[in-house]
Amino acid sequence: MGITSLPSTITTFPMPSEVVIAEEIGHGRVLTLNRPNNLNYVSEKVALTLGQKLEKYEKDDNAKFVILKGAGRTFSAGGDLERIYDARDSVLEGVYRIYWLFYHIHTYKKPHIALVHGMSMGGGVGLMAPMKFSVVTEKAFCSTPEANLGYHPDCGLSYILSRLPGRLGEYLGLTGGKLKGKEVVAAGLATHFVPSHKLFQLEKSLLSINNGCEEDTIRSVIDEFSTNVQVDETSVLSKLSIIDDCFSRETVEEILDSLEVEAGKRGNDWIMPVLKSIKKASPIGLKITLRSIREGRTQTLSECLRREFRITINTLRTLISYDLYEGIRAAIIDKDKSPNWNPSTLDEVHDEQLDLIFKPFDEHDLELQIPISEEEYRWGGKYENSGYCLRTK
């Protein structure tokens, strides 16, 4: 299997001030999100650094695999909401870099491994789920709560959620429901469950692989530390028949109606918190989320990312609503937990409004410049060559 002791020569760059710590250990490359006091948010600088490192490692014959982890008790809580609130649409560079980064994580040419111990929300899920191997512990939990903020599942999440079993993706996207530990694996958002007390030894063993760094070798190493996953009957994953029935309905309104019916049946007390969560979310965020996930079911990764990018840009520019900023204000800035959504009800959100933020940009150079096919200008399309950057020069 090619497992030896750790190499004696280790090149590291552990500067505490760095937002991403990069280490070169034998044939392994370790990237650590290093903003533990800020929930390891993926900022513009983080996205730029990760993109640069991943490109370097993909082209480096000595780099055989990449490990991504988070410092502290959080893997990543996704985007930096306070920065978005303060900067408004001047965060376009960071948004572009983040989407460009996520495309390359999905299509990376070498094995990559996420070690997830703690919170992974929104874009954090988008980081871990497409990895070839994604390892979670019992202290890991995942959620996609964007609709609660007047936003939508971005960074490839409409692609990821739409490919989960049944209608679980719609459930997670509309409710912001939390999956914990083994549930994350059972749902298909991670590949392995490893008890937290074994995580350090797992990483050490991976970095001790001396030869034969193929996927099968890496999988075998992880398998040695992982345990089988069985879902408890109290888990929401044991309610998939009801979830599939209710969340397959055509509209958010019909989903709510079907949940109301199911909630009245014996043994379905778990549905009441689900209803409460959906009803307190942004009406426009809910409708964007449902449409985005539904469209994602029949679209390629590139199509999903381009569409999500349009939605994000138009949302930041408040094309049809200020709900994103109101959601951040209520949750992060003032913390009053009382957002004033506008529109305030689902029936006030019309398809014509949604069409405005889903449609392609009139000018093609404002689209996300990622390859239509994987081999097309593999690392091209960077922000520096985008219409957004060129227009600021």
What is the distance between the alpha carbons of residues 289 and 362, in angstroms, rounded to a whole number?
A: 23
Annotated catalytic residue within 26, 28, 118, 123: 123
154 is catalytic: yes
Annotated catalytic residue within 79, 124, 150, 381: 79
Annotated catalytic residue within 146, 308, 323, 326: 146
Burial 72-81 (b: 16+ CB within 10 A, else e): bebbbbbbbb
What is the distance between the alpha carbons of residues 326 and 144, in angstroms, rounded to a whole number?
A: 18
351 is catalytic: no
- Strand order from edge to edge, sheet including 20-25: 10-13, 20-25, 28-33, 65-70, 112-116, 133-136, 192-193
What dihedral angle (degrees, nearest 10) is formed by the CA atoms of 32, 20, 310, 363? Answer: -140
Annotated catalytic residue within 80, 154, 170, 203: 154
Residue in 163, 129, 159 with CA at minimum distance from that of residue 143? 129
What is the distance between the alpha carbons of residues 262 and 25, in angstroms, rounded to a whole number?
A: 53
Residues in the chain: 393
146 is catalytic: yes
223 is catalytic: no
What is the distance between the alpha carbons of residues 350 and 109, in angstroms, rounded to a whole number?
A: 42
Which residues are part of the catalytic machinery?
79, 123, 146, 154
